[in-house]
Structure 1
Amino acid sequence: MKFQQYEKQTNTDWILVSSTKIQLKKPLVLVFGNRFLLEEAAVYEDVKNIFPDGEIVLGSTAGEIMLEKVYEDSITITAIEFEKSSFKVERANILDFDKDAVAIGKHLAAQLPSENLKHMFIVSEGSFVNGSALINGLESKNTNTAITGGLCGDDARFEKTVVGYNEKPKEGEIVAIGFYGESLEISFAQYGGWTPFGPERIITKSEGNVLFELDNLPALDLYKKYLGDKAAQLPQSALLYPLSVMQKGKKEPIVRTILSINEEKNTMTLAGDVPMGSTVQLMMANIDNIAEGALHAADIGMKNRKNKPELALLVSCVGRKLVMDQRVEEEIEEVIEIIGEQAVVGGFYSYGELAPFYGNKSCELHNQTMTLTLFSE
């Protein structure tokens, strides 16, 4: 693999972060950045001028990850030339599917040739998509292909997210990148580090990713009771107190954060499904435990690898970033310590992370986790 990385702040020129400038042939160009900056008309054209034959994927974030640093109000570019393997990119807009996440997932999966498909990486709109339903659609065709990626972000504003493929990014876009090649080695992992607390409650009424009742009581009222004064800052304050959800028949709990609330209906909309009958418990954060969780994710990702990773794509949750604040780069440093400094690191802070649990290929939607996808060829 060959790489080029660039970074740009507000009102500055593009800065080459790589040690030397080299010409890449038909690279995959991953552009992650602040939503307002990505919406500027000149940005896509700038990237196209730098990589005229590149396949350009753009996504808004809640923070950008490049090498050992975490950026804000910036745009980062990680361009990759695959020398022995190949990739294919497909896009669709969920607004053209009446916001049906399963349908758009099936459509995208059908567009990627299944023969020799090694892995799928997803860059999805993050404002209103049901992430777990999207996964169900994506896995409908290629059940043996692992999926990782993330739901794009908009810092802590939760106003809108934008995604684009070979054009200026816009609302509703979902991009699927398929990777192909016998020489390609890809591993992945996820881990959280949050601590459950308080009583366990049962979801007694829900529809998809909308939560109505816990223990036959309005879920939003109960949640506000726990938040106290912080209830006035919903939904942003919910990032600090996510829900641990143990579904019937599952071995591992998943973490869900709240995307929006409906005061009139007394409901909460979460990033993924919250099935009735599931057991729910509040979670809280300890900064040291979160950083340790990132290290644990890296340990899992490196298990059974034959080669050292050349590329690491990190997708971590905006909630982790808000909690860690000025210490946020510690979790990136923990990952690099395990995977090695030879790996080029890129990625973003998200509204939802996609990765299987350890030992599985079936993908899950996570919140408040560090996920990583490690590549070598």
Structure 2
Amino acid sequence: MKIEQFVYTDEASVKPFTINPQLIFAFGHRELIENQTLTKELARKYPNAILTGCSTAGEIIGESVRDGTIIFTAIEFENVKIQSAKAGLKDSDYNSFEIGKKLVSQFPQEGLKHVFVVSDGLKVNGTDLVKGIADELPENVTLTGGLAGDGPNFSKTVIVEPDGTVATESIAAVGFYGDSLQIGFGSRGGWDSFGLDRLVTKSKENVLYEIDGQPALDLYKSFLGDRAKDLPSSGLLFPLSMRDSEDRAPVVRTILGISEEDKSLTFAGDIPQGSFVRLMKANTDRLINGAEEAAVAAKNGDKKSPEFALLVSCVGRKLVLKQIVEEEVESVSEVLDKPFITGFYSYGEIAPFNQNVQCELHNQTMTITTFRES
């Protein structure tokens, strides 16, 4: 596996790749990516390469976190083969479950080992998307990915499609084939829950209307106090822990939008009626420890170090960690023995918690996918 990277800030920062890549990741500031001049030029210059990526709430390269750039990472595999897939939300009438199935159906199943997906971050129901993909994937194929970001703005997200085109309301995926590819993954949070468990008394999919019989928005605003005026972005600092059954670990849910009209909260993933939620708050040390634990899980006892790590961390973590945000990336790099790293701050992360556990949509986690050719 050969890997090269560059950071795009302006035309003078463009650096041609000296390898012959099959895959180019592009993660960057929405307005820069929307221009699509550079992604299309790379697609033209490297016709054998599949492009994939998205707009972000911050870009990751090595042990640093950037804003207002595009991070390009080119990979030339020795034996691994890859395939691409894409689908538009409009094509399935915004049915996220069906679009997940449609996306995966484009991949030949023989030899498929792993799928990495990037999705629209605002119009998609991430829970249903993951369920749809998992429903169509062969049992032994793993899945990771993330939802695109738009800084703290929550206004529009874009996806880089395989031919370098940049699209809204789109989902793109890369399928990896070959026994020589070793994949690892881990996802951890580090947030502290507090207060009582509260019952979700009215919800539909990812829209929460009532908690304990009270309007969800009013109750949530009472928790936030003065910060309520900054919703929905201030909601990133106080996510909900959601548990929908006794035998499943709680997952974290982050607010994407609010409605003053019906007093509802819209989340990146489902909040089923009858589930229990608790408010959460951040502890910076615990967040950084969580990132380290995700890296340990991704390594999964492998004596050999990965060659490449793809990090998807939540925008909420970035807003909490502020000037020490790079510490969570540094902790991951240290555990993984300093591989090439790229990634982005997202509106949702996709991965299983551990090996042999079903894939889920997460919020407020550091989610890591590692790659090594043996």
What's the TM-score once normalised by structure 2's chain length? Answer: 0.96
2:167 alignment partner, SS class:
coil
Question: Which of 115, 121, 129 matches 2:124?
Answer: 129
Instruction: Please list the CA deviations of residues 89-123 of structure 1 after superposition, one character each: whole Å capped at 9, or x if unmatched.
Output: 10010122111100100101111111121111111
- Give runs of aligned pairs for residues 241-256 of structure 1, distance below 5 A: 241-256=238-253
Superposition CA RMSD, Å:
1.4
What is the distance in 2 between the residues matched to 1:138 and 1:306? 31
Alignment match, 2:60: 65
Instruction: Please list the CA deviations of residues 45-65 of structure 1 after superposition, one character each: whole Å capped at 9, or x if unmatched.
Output: 343355343211131000011
2:195 alignment partner, SS class:
strand
Alignment match, 1:8: 8
Instruction: Please list the CA deviations of residues 20-69 of structure 1 after superposition, one character each: whole Å capped at 9, or x if unmatched.
Output: 952214x2001010000111142223433553432111310000111111
Q: Does 1:208 align with 2:205?
A: yes
1:62 alignment partner, SS class:
coil
What is the distance in 1 between the residues matched to 2:364 and 2:221? 20
Question: Which of 254, 267, 288 matches 1:291?
Answer: 288
What is the distance in 2 between the residues matched to 1:269 and 1:355? 21
What is the distance in 1 between the residues matched to 2:140 and 2:289? 30
Alignment match, 2:305: 308
Q: Does 1:268 align with 2:265?
A: yes
Question: Which of 326, 329, 336 matches 2:326?
Answer: 329
2:136 alignment partner, SS class:
coil
1:177 alignment partner, SS class:
strand
Instruction: Please list the CA deviations of residues 333-377 of structure 1 after superposition, one character each: whole Å capped at 9, or x if unmatched.
Output: 000110002x11011100000010224341100000000001101
Alignment match, 1:37: 32
The answer for unaligned runs of 5 or more in structure 2 is: none
What is the distance in 2 between the residues matched to 1:359 and 1:118? 14
Check whether the contact 1:39–1:168 (CA below 8 A) recurs between aligned residues. no
What is the distance in 2 between the residues matched to 1:62 and 1:3? 24
Q: Which moved more, 1:298-307 or 1:329-338?
A: 298-307
Q: Does 1:235 align with 2:232?
A: yes
Q: Which moved more, 1:58-67 or 1:42-51?
A: 42-51
What is the distance in 1 between the residues matched to 2:148 and 2:100? 16
1:223 alignment partner, SS class:
helix
Q: Give the Å deviation of 1:300.
A: 1.1
AA of the residue aligned to 1:28: L
Q: Does 1:141 align with 2:136?
A: yes
The answer for unaligned runs of 5 or more in structure 1 is: none
2:166 alignment partner, SS class:
coil
Alignment match, 1:156: 152
What's the TM-score once normalised by structure 1's chain length? Answer: 0.95
Q: Give the Å deviation of 1:322.
A: 0.6
Alignment match, 1:104: 99
AA of the residue aligned to 1:128: K
What is the distance in 2 between the residues matched to 1:219 and 1:194? 21
Alignment match, 1:257: 254
What is the distance in 2 between the residues matched to 1:153 and 1:104? 20
2:124 alignment partner, SS class:
coil
Q: Does 1:75 align with 2:77?
A: no
What is the distance in 1 between the residues matched to 2:44 and 2:64? 26
Alignment match, 2:112: 117
Check whether the contact 1:31–1:59 (CA below 8 A) recurs between aligned residues. yes
What is the distance in 2 between the residues matched to 1:216 and 1:92? 38
Check whether the contact 1:248–1:277 (CA below 8 A) recurs between aligned residues. no
Q: Give the Å deviation of 1:315.
A: 0.3
Question: Which of 30, 45, 49 matches 1:54?
Answer: 49
Check whether the contact 1:120–1:148 (CA below 8 A) recurs between aligned residues. yes
Instruction: Please list the CA deviations of residues 254-276 of structure 1 after superposition, one character each: whole Å capped at 9, or x if unmatched.
Output: 00000111110110110001111
Alignment match, 1:195: 192
What is the distance in 2 between the residues matched to 1:56 and 1:376? 20
AA of the residue aligned to 1:321: K
What is the distance in 2 between the residues matched to 1:49 and 1:107? 27
Residues paired across the two proteins, number: 371
